[in-house]
Structure 1
Amino acid sequence: MRHCKALSTLTMALLLAACGGEQDATVLLVGPDPKLPEPQRGLLPSMNIADPASWGDRTPTVPEGFSITAIAKDLQIPRQTLVLPNGDILVAEGRGGNAPKLKPKDVIAGYIKAQGTTSVKSGNRLTLLRDADGDGTYELQTVFADNLNAPYGLAYHDGNLYVANQDSLVRFDYQDGQTEASGPPVKVTDLPSAINHHWTKAMTVSPDGRFLYVGIGSNSNITERGMEAEVDRAMIWQIDAETGAHKPYATGLRNPTALDMQPGSDQLWAVVNERDELGPHLVPDYLTSVREGAFYGWPYSYWGQNVDERVRPQNPDLVAAAIKPDYALGAHVAALGLDFSSPVMGPQFAEGAFVGMHGSWNRERPAGYKVVFVPFSNGRPSGEPVDFVTGFQTDGKTMGRPVGVTVDPEGALIVADDLANIVWRVTRTP
């Protein structure tokens, strides 16, 4: 295996040299008005995943005045977390997707990406964590529900626990203090799952509990399977929690991987993974408020009205209507987590959003692999992102990859790490 990997790396290097490689790899486009470079296209994109390694006695790095501990280990691919009303934490565990490879480059890319993922079996379950005495040690780690299908999105409202599997949205009845589900879930509605190139189904609930919002990613990078494969995809659904009736809430979002409601409002926000193969600096993944009925560009354009010339036929009317996102997070950082901060986290992190960045596979110099804080002012992003949890990569090795982030009522940040199969908790130092 080691010889095969070395051969693959050498092959990549030769192909990238022929394509001009990655220039100015330090550039990361962030903020509300990034200066986008010209697209770069070649035979293959840059591909690089650092080798996985054990944390050992190390932990991720957090800012001065904070500490981080592992509150759960030996999980089965933790993705997203949810804090229940009594303080218990639910962890969605699993791996989905079943899209066939279309071209030889997809096979190569699949091999490269697989080097940076865990070999642990998919859990297809929810695990419950409990710190009964509030000392920061979660002494109970037990299976709340199993036999699910790649659960990802989690939401709770007034006794209803919602889980977005890769193929359906389901509901459990929940009472405070439960440590396991009282029975099988009830299906609310089916979700698109054919091909499932982007399988994650992000979710949040409206403050009144009436609607659920589910992010459904595209079935391709840029419509390689044809538009017929993209029906009901690259969009956010609004679902009636009672009846399961649904409609497109916003469209043209290539892969909305995390959703959250801004505190004190009915404003929906999302982080979105943008398209690949336009170079190491295009297209930036982004954080944005989501307007009902709005179109965000995919597949015809990116970052507003920048036309993607690869798409044929084009749609000038939709391009003209495309909304520019609020905040660029950097190209290929793979933002997979989103939650708004709390004033109890201290003045520097009182207003803003935390974003979990799973990390790139298609940049010569990796990007992401950290949790950042995007500061807000007057309800909008303002200023550059602040590194909050880092150290997932060092010396060419990758110890962890952050996914979901959740702020608990005490102001601690919960981070799911799906490479090390750990849940981390970041707290203010007394």
Structure 2
Amino acid sequence: MSTFKKIAIALAVFLVVAGAALWWITRPVPALHTLEETSGTDPVLAEPAPQFFPTVGIAKPIGWADGEAPTAAAGLAVNRFAEGLDHPRVIYTMPNGDVLVTLTKAPPGEVAGGWLTNLVAGFLFSEAGAGGPSADQIVLLRDADGDGVAEERHILREGLSSPSGMAWHDGTLYVANHDAVLRFAYEEGATALTGEGEKIADLPPAGNHWMRNILLDPEGTRLYVAVGSASNIGEGGMEIEEGRAAIHEINLETGSTRIFAAGLRNPNGLAWNPWSGELWTTVNERDMLGSDLVPDYMTNVPLGSHYGWPWVYYGDVVDERVKMAMPRFLTSYTRVPEYALGAHTAPLGMVFTQGGTRMGDAFARGAFIARHGSWNRYPPGGYDVVFVAFDERGNPLAKPVTVLESFLANEDETRGRPTWVAWDGTGALLVSDDTAGIIWRVVNPTAAPGAAPQRNRGARLPPRRNLIGDPARAFEEPPADLMPGSF
């Protein structure tokens, strides 16, 4: 046998073995737990299974046929509020009922993590229907006759830079681009957003997580901005994570900013809990620890709180993959999320029930969350809208309840991806479906408008008059001067 034939045979054998090895390492690793088990107030935390090559199981969008709609829970009806939109993401309803929608995609550029991460990211964006240039628009949708369908559509503003969050107060509209927060003079009812926007804050640009949601406080004096990380677990170094994986607070009167809460890998939905008055957010947790880790979540975010990213998750579970030194005593103050929403379900938009909402008694008190859907879980999870009931004190209960069933057509294809939720002016729930270009409207047609949530308020605890013993154990064995009747 000639040397050339030997080399050819050896090369052929190598290619077969290499192909088989590549096929084997790219096979999805199935979940061992159900989404329900990785959801709720006490989720299962599986043993980590670090991956060099992630489980990739994204469903390719195929759209909805004419007349098709997602299946809603019993008692609810769903219709198309608007369609033919170019990748609608964030929805914001004005006080007069006009609905503003950002048409947006990720800005161009590389993400942290090297060539392999960028290769996978490019493939995922393309497969998920999120590739291509961003429309960079805000569109106004108006349902003037109240029939549940927007008959008017106006391009409110063009030329933005991957816009996401919006908030309005007293003649001013705030818009979050991926790299800055702008404000515009804007009166209700206007069908164009004119004039130059004033930049009130720079933001860390783009990164692995480019959406920037914003929320005003009830008084309209402070603005909260959710900024996701530039990487999965800080693999690009912590220098590029400055100001990321955090919620920022902007004082609109003084212009000062501060980090309000940190250690949140990719916070998105922001909402005020109407029973406790606390700020809540949805968070997408880290990847490449297997199909069962780490559960995404929603949680309250008190001032100064830290949720562990990238070093730990769920309070004190150390991520051994992180190479950077952990801050001293981190696990002594890292908070545990309040409520898990399932591993890799990608929760984005979130709203609480409020006065006037028309979803019926089964959905009278709680939060609605759009779960955008997994790209690295097998079988896929999310691709739905769920409801989480809350008690009268503002604490989440039980397991998520389906509001709109999975948009999946099968394990490999999905009709759309629910992205954001907001209330319209009639008390119906609006849901953006970014890959299908549709805004869905969900309502219980027989339900009366719900009552406004009652803020839970109690008497303040009396001040300690004497420091006795260990303060951390004060409420295990309270001193006499803190007992009822002692003051």
TM-score norm. by structure 2 comes to: 0.82
Aligned-pair CA distance for 1:104? 2.2
Is residue 45 of structure 1 aligned with residue 54 of structure 2? yes
Question: Corresponding residue for 2:260?
Answer: 249
Find the aligned partners of 1:120 and 1:299 in 2 and give their Cα distance.
30
Residues 415 and 424 in structure 1, CA contact (< 8 A), matched pair in contact too: yes
Aligned-pair CA distance for 1:164? 0.8
Unaligned runs of 5+ in 2: 1-18, 447-487
* Structure holding more strand per residue: 1
Residues 95 and 425 in structure 2, CA contact (< 8 A), matched pair in contact too: no
Question: Corresponding residue for 2:78?
Answer: 68
Find the aligned partners of 2:417 and 2:103 in 1 and give their Cα distance.
14
Find the aligned partners of 2:269 and 2:262 in 1 and give their Cα distance.
15
Residues 127 and 143 in structure 1, CA contact (< 8 A), matched pair in contact too: yes
Is residue 370 of structure 1 aligned with residue 370 of structure 2? no
Q: Deviations over 1:260-284 (max 9, x none)?
A: 1123653100000110111111111
Larger radius of gyration: 2
* Aligned counterparts, 1:14-413, within 5 A: 14-17=24-27, 21-24=29-32, 26-28=34-36, 29-57=38-66, 58-97=68-107, 98-100=109-111, 102-118=114-130, 121-193=133-205, 196-263=207-274, 266-312=277-323, 313-342=325-354, 344-378=358-392, 379-395=394-410, 396-413=412-429
Moved over 6 A (4+): 9-12
Residue-pair matches, total: 419
Range 344-353 or range 106-115, more displaced: 106-115
Residues 295 and 344 in structure 2, CA contact (< 8 A), matched pair in contact too: yes
Find the aligned partners of 1:12 and 1:141 in 2 and give their Cα distance.
49
Aligned-pair CA distance for 1:397? 2.0
Aligned-pair CA distance for 1:35? 2.2
Unaligned runs of 5+ in 1: 1-8
Q: 1:423 aligns with which of 439, 442, 451?
A: 439
Q: Deviations over 1:5-34 (max 9, x none)?
A: xxxx998752145xx822426354001111
Aligned-pair CA distance for 1:121? 4.1
Find the aligned partners of 2:234 and 2:438 in 1 and give their Cα distance.
35
Could you tell me which amino acid in structure 2 is paired with residue 423 of structure 1? Answer: I
Could you tell me which amino acid in structure 2 is paired with residue 56 of structure 1? Answer: A
Range 165-174 or range 81-90, more displaced: 165-174
Residues 215 and 224 in structure 2, CA contact (< 8 A), matched pair in contact too: yes
Q: Deviations over 1:116-158 (max 9, x none)?
A: 1245642111100001121222110110111111110111222
Range 315-324 or range 92-101, more displaced: 92-101
Q: Deviations over 1:293-341 (max 9, x none)?
A: 1111011100111111111223341122100010000111111111112
TM-score norm. by structure 1 comes to: 0.93
Q: Structure 1 residues 119, 329: closer, same or farther in 2, change over 3 A?
A: same
Find the aligned partners of 2:199 and 2:254 in 1 and give their Cα distance.
10
Identical-pair percentage: 42
Q: Structure 1 residues 408, 137: closer, same or farther in 2, change over 3 A?
A: closer
Aligned-pair CA distance for 1:96? 2.2
Range 23-32 or range 183-192, more displaced: 23-32
Find the aligned partners of 1:147 and 1:265 in 2 and give their Cα distance.
39
